[in-house]
Every structure is written in C-alpha cells, then in structure tokens.
Amino acid sequence: MLHHIILLSVVFVLSQGSRCRLPWTGVWLENGNELNITHNSIGNLGNCVQKSRDLYLLTSDTSRGPCYRCLITFPVHENVLHYKTTQCIFDTAMNLERCSQLMSADTSMHTLFRKEAIPVPCPIEAPMNFTYQTNQGICNSRTSHLHRCAQYDRLALHYQACPEIPNRESAIWQMECIGSWQSFGLHYFAARVGYSAGEQYRCFIHDKSGSSGRIGESADAGCQELTHIGAAATTLHYRQDSPVHSACEFPENMYGEKARNWESMLLGTYHRMYHGSWISSIKGRNDTVWTCLQQFPTDSNEHFTYRTYVTKGCKVGYQCVRLHMRKPHIVHVEYGEISPSESFADCSEFSVETRDTLILHGSKEACPIGGKHYSSLCPGPILQVGCSSKYSMNLVRDCSYPEGDELTCVANFKHEDNDFIIARDSLSRQLFCMTYVSDRINLLRVYDRVSCEEVSVNSATPYLSLNFSSSDSCSPSLLTGFLYSATSDVASPHHLMLLILTFIWNFL
Ligand SMILES: *[C@@H]1O[C@H](CO)[C@@H](O)[C@H](O)[C@H]1NC(C)=O
Ligand SMILES: *[C@@H]1O[C@H](CO)[C@@H](O)[C@H](O)[C@H]1NC(C)=O
Ligand SMILES: *[C@@H]1O[C@H](CO)[C@@H](O)[C@H](O)[C@H]1NC(C)=O
Ligand SMILES: *[C@@H]1O[C@H](CO)[C@@H](O)[C@H](O)[C@H]1NC(C)=O
C-alpha cells in the first residue's frame, strides 16, 4: 500500500513537471526589455504550476501571499511569441478550468522577440521602388528604394525626403527579418530595423498583388495593433524593380575549374570570383559583392578593366576596377570610387581610390635572399632566410628575443627598382609585404596591412626596417672553419684527411 502511494506520487510529480515545461527557453525582448524564459518560469510573471496546451497557470510569491496568473501563448514563429496574461489572482484555489473562463478576448496581447535571433530570409523580394505614407502625410513625389545588402538576409531602405512631409528627412534603414507567419489569412513578418541611432523591433503586414503591393509597419515593438494594413504607422506602396544581372565575366584564372579563395593583404578579407560575380567576405559574412557590367579592352593579357555594380555593406553603386595578374597566385587590384549613379560609364581611365593585393590562398614560393643577415645592433642574425627550408624565414624584431618569429614565403616578384617578398607569420597567419632594392640587399622594409606594390608601400610607414651590416650563407661556420684549418695546415696530409672525415661526419 505504502509502495503504491510513493509510486503514485512519483508519477504525479513527473507528469506535473513535464506537463509544465515551457518550450521557448531563452532570452526574449518585450518593448526592448529583457525577459528570460526557463523551462518552468517566464520572466517575473511566475513559475508554471499547471498547463494545458497553450494555457498556463503561473504562480509567484508576493507580500500579499502567492499570486496566481493565467497565461495563454500564441507561438507564431520560433523567434516570435505572442501572449496574453491576467492580473494577479490571490486565490489558492485557482486552476486551469477557471483560467480558460478568465482569458477574455479583450485582454491585451503582448509580443516577444527572441534576442539575438538568427535572421531568416525576408518574405519580400528585393529590389523594389516605393512611396510611403505616415500619419504626417504621403510622400509620393519621389521614389524611395529598397535593396539587398552584401549580407543577403539584410535589406536597406532608402527613404526619400518629400516636400509634402516637411519635417521628414531622407533616411537609410537596415532591416533583418527574424520570422514570418500568417494569421487570419494575413501575411506578417517581424524584423530588426536599425539606423545609426540603434536597433528596434517592428512587425510588418504584407499585402502583395503581382509585382506590386503594400507593406505596413507597426508603430512600436508590438504586433497587437497591426490587425490590418490600415492600422500601420507607416505604409509602403511598392513596385518590384529588376535586379542587376552580370553582363561580363571576371578573369577565368581567378576561379578556374574549382572555387579559389583569394586573401586580401590590405584587409584580410577573402575573395571569391565566379563568372560575373565577385564576393569578398570576412568571418563567413559577405562584406562586398561586385557584379561585372562591362569589360574594357586593354593592351595586355595580364591587365583587366571592368565596370561593376557594387554592394559594399548596405551601400550600392558603380565602381571601376582594374586587375593586374602579377603572377598566377598574385593579383594587384585598383579600385575607383563608388559612384551612386551610372553617370561615368567609361572605365578605361579612372582615378584609383584604393589598391589591394590578393594572394591565392594556400600558395607558397621559395624565398629569395637566402642566408643569414646581421645587424650591427644584435649579436646573432636578425634575419635567416631559407635555412631550415627553402620556404622559411626567421625574423628577430628585438635582439633580446633572439629566437625570432617564423614566417613562410608566399610570393616574390620584382617591380620597378624594388624586389618584393610576401611572407606569412606562422603564428598570427598575417601576411607581410617586404621590399628591398635588388642590387644592394642592405635595407629590408617590412609592411603590414598594405597592398604589396610600389605605389602603396611608398606612401606607407614601414612596420619594421631591418638594416643589415653583413650577410652570410646559412651554414657558414663549418665551411669557413674547414677552409681555415686546411690552409693553415698544408703540410700534414694526415691532418687534412681527418678534417675531411670530420667534415663528412658532420654532414651525416
Ligand atoms: C537573462 O539571462 C541572462 C543570462 O542567460 C542574464 O545575463 C540576464 O541578466 C537575464 N535577464 C533578466 C532580466 O533576468
Ligand atoms: C553572399 O552574396 C552572394 C551573392 O549575392 C549570395 O548568393 C550569398 O547568399 C551571400 N551570402 C551570405 C552569407 O549572405
Ligand atoms: C525604380 O526607380 C529607379 C530610380 O528612380 C528607376 O530607374 C526604375 O526604372 C524604377 N523601376 C521601376 C520598376 O519602377
Ligand atoms: C643603416 O646603418 C648604417 C650604418 O649603421 C647607417 O649609416 C644608415 O643610416 C642606416 N640606414 C637606415 C635607413 O637606418
């Protein structure tokens, strides 16, 4: 009998626990305030005591004794939760049956957005042109524009200022959708919208008909008011615009048969080209996307000039770009300024705004200037090149740390009077550009975060300058020692034999 009671109560506790489990654990936002949901509690609304489908009975301790609250939830998306709740009820006899009677239709609805929700694709198609309407008036004398940012899930809205709404200025808003759903046959989505002053959450209602439609935005971070498009605080009347398509191809040896990754020396970003599109990304996020619009003829098959449509972050425009294939694994790039309009159509001559050098990821090349290089300031060599392998370099930045830093040679080339070496620090993985004057290797300049060519390094400050007082081959001590002994001991062939033997022995 006693056993049965224990068993029953265990079963009761278990079912009670699992029955009360709240499924949407995590940190949420309600009107910008954080609210935490755990498996059995929702913010300071209370702990769950009973549950039936989406109806919950919660309890919390107050100075007046236990407070009971009824809560009903309307999960519309993994990242969006609507709920209604009652006031505190100080009645220990509260139960779910009474809750279902208490939840009347006129109890106000609350909206929760999951904090740091991973964006989802927006249920609207970019690009589009739109006019808009706020409670201050209608702006339809100028066309506003919506387009994608380099990060595909992010949209940019360029609101034009209109004389019809005097105190409304032109503004650029970014938008990232976090969920979409349908309710009573209407299409909704929620988004994080932001501009320079910060981020907010908004609900949207979408009414599409063919290639045009309307989008209504809520006044605040709640969806409850947005029962129909007429209730929106701002309404966009849009018309679908056509996206920009590529009309030419970037050099085939930049992508070849399989995808190739190029690394920027200036920014550390990764570049990938594929036919008419070129994407630069950092930490897996697109940062710039170029679309090839027109190729201009050049007099060399190592130079390529293009006019492109560019999306840099959330900014779009037109840009001239010139590529110079220095070697199969080194490309110098010259970028013109980004122009918002298509006005300059000729890229055969353009003023260069920035330069970069792209390195084919994973490439390496044997180092030049092999040997040990000394400075008058340090007892040991400050630079050793090709001594432990033909790709290795050891650089001493500070004489008090003679063990130095290991680098791997990635590329080298001659340009005008200078020789260039590109090497990668084995520890930080950073690329460095080094230059020296070809015929006298006595001053080596090291640059970081710079395009590795004449123009860029000439206007940059070296990260390090190495002044060599003398140089030597990698293993000089043995050979010079041998020659010295041999010449000073000509008389004794015996001795010489021994020396040769030790020499061979040392080599083994
Ligand atoms: C919610 O939980 C996080 C940690 O998960 C905590 O840092 C934060 O302070 C909590 N917020 C509230 C309002 O309790
Ligand atoms: C990067 O851009 C390309 C081209 O616009 C797009 O197809 C891709 O989805 C984007 N990737 C991300 C992570 O945004
Ligand atoms: C969208 O607006 C741009 C700039 O005002 C215009 O060139 C383009 O033709 C418009 N597209 C449509 C479909 O109205
Ligand atoms: C390199 O060292 C020599 C001799 O110590 C000195 O005369 C010269 O000015 C140094 N050059 C630079 C650029 O530091």
Contact 372, 471 (CB under 8 A): yes
For residue 212 and ligand 3, the question of a CB distance below 6 A is answered with no
Q: Is the pLDDT of residue 11 over 60?
A: no
Under the banding of pLDDT at 50, 70 and 90, the label for residue 476 is: low
Which atom in ligand 4 lies closest to the alpha carbon of residue 443? 13
Instruction: List pLDDT tens digits, range 393-420.
Output: 999 999 899 899 999 999 999 988 889 9
Q: Which ligand is nearest to the CA of 469?
A: 4
Q: What is the domain partition of the chain in residue ranges?
A: 2-114, 128-240, 252-360, 371-472, 478-507
What mean pLDDT is reported for the chain?
87
Under the banding of pLDDT at 50, 70 and 90, the label for residue 2 is: very low
Contact 317, 339 (CB under 8 A): yes
pLDDT at 30: 93
pTM equals 0.83
Residue 307: CB partners within 8 Å, gap ≥ 6? 293, 294, 296, 318, 319, 320, 345, 347
Share of the chain above pLDDT 90, in %: 68
Distance CA 65, CA 58 (A): 14
Instruction: List pLDDT tens digits, range 241-271.
Output: 999 999 999 999 899 877 789 999 999 999 9
Q: Is the pLDDT of residue 3 over 60?
A: no
Cα–Cα nearest to 332, from 363, 356, 368: 356
**Average confidence (pLDDT) over 343-347:** 78
Pocket of ligand 4 (CB under 6 A): 376, 443, 467
Q: What are phi and psi of 457, to 5 degrees?
A: -70, -30
**Average confidence (pLDDT) over 3-17:** 41
Tokens (6 digits) for 445: 């300049």
Q: Is the pLDDT of residue 486 over 80?
A: no
Place of tokens 């679908």: 240
β strands within 254-375, DSSP E: 262-264, 270-274, 277-282, 285-296, 303-312, 315-327, 330-335, 354-360, 371-374
From the CA of 312, how far away is ligand 2's center (Å)?
Answer: 12
Q: Which residue puts its alpha carbon closest to atom 13 of ligand 3?
A: 241
Q: Which residue puts its alpha carbon closest to atom 2 of ligand 4?
A: 467
Q: Is the pLDDT of residue 136 over 60?
A: yes
Distance CA 279, CA 336 (A): 17
Q: Which ligand is nearest to the CA of 376?
A: 4
From the CA of 465, how far away is ligand 4's center (Å)?
Answer: 10
Q: Which residue puts its alpha carbon closest to atom 2 of ligand 3?
A: 129
Under the banding of pLDDT at 50, 70 and 90, the label for residue 215 is: very high
pLDDT at 19: 67
Instruction: List pLDDT tens digits, range 71-111.
Output: 999 989 999 999 999 999 999 899 998 988 888 767 788 99
Question: Helical H runs in 345-492?
Answer: 454-458, 476-488
Tokens (6 digits) for 224: 């409850």
Place of tokens 């009971």: 68
**Average confidence (pLDDT) over 167-189:** 92
From the CA of 399, how far away is ligand 4's center (Å)?
Answer: 17
Tokens (6 digits) for 115: 């904090």
Kindly report the length of the chain. Answer: 508
Instruction: List pLDDT tens digits, range 277-296.
Output: 999 999 999 999 999 999 99
From the CA of 286, how far away is ligand 2's center (Å)?
Answer: 6
Pocket of ligand 2 (CB under 6 A): 151-152, 277, 279, 286, 289
Edge-to-edge, what's the strand order for the sheet holding 392-395? Answer: 464-467, 440-448, 431-437, 418-425, 405-415, 392-395, 381-385, 371-374, 470-472
- As a dihedral over the C-alpha atoms of residue 415, residue 416, residue 417, residue 421, rounded to 10 degrees, the angle is -10
